[in-house]
Amino acid sequence: MRYIYPVLLTEDLDDGGYVVTCRDVPEAITQGETIGEALEQAADALEEALCGCINHGRLIPEPSARQIGERLVTVPVTTALKAVAYTKFRESGQTKVAIARTIGIKESEVRRILDPRHGTRADTMDRFIRALGGEVLVSAR
- 139 part of a folded domain: no
Domain that holds residue 123: 77-131
Q: How many CA atoms lie within 13 A of 112 on its CB side?
A: 11
Same domain, 111 and 122: yes
Which of 27, 46, 74 corresponds to the end of one domain?
Answer: 74
Domain count, the chain: 2
What is the percent of the chain with per-residue pLDDT over 70, rounded to a whole number?
Answer: 100
**50-106: per-residue pLDDT in tens?**
999 999 999 999 999 999 999 999 999 999 999 999 999 999 999 999 999 988 999
Q: Is the pLDDT of residue 15 over 90?
A: no
- 122 part of a folded domain: yes
Least confident of 10-14, 44-48, 66-70: 10-14
Integer Cα distance of 31 and 36 in angstroms: 10
Same domain, 67 and 13: yes
Same domain, 89 and 127: yes
- Closest of 93, 102, 94 to residue 127, by C-alpha: 102
Same domain, 59 and 40: yes
Same domain, 67 and 16: yes
Integer Cα distance of 81 and 76 in angstroms: 9
Residue 14 is predicted with a pLDDT of 86
Tell me the CATH number at 25: 3.30.160.250
Same domain, 62 and 46: yes
Contact 20, 2 (CB under 8 A): no
Q: Given strand 4-11, what is the order of strands in its sheet? A: 30-32, 18-21, 4-11, 70-74
> What is the pLDDT averaged over residues 16-37?
96
Same domain, 70 and 118: no
Q: Is the pLDDT of residue 123 over 80?
A: yes
Residue 13 is predicted with a pLDDT of 86
What is the percent of the chain with per-residue pLDDT over 90, rounded to a whole number?
Answer: 85
Same domain, 40 and 97: no
Report pTM. Answer: 0.90
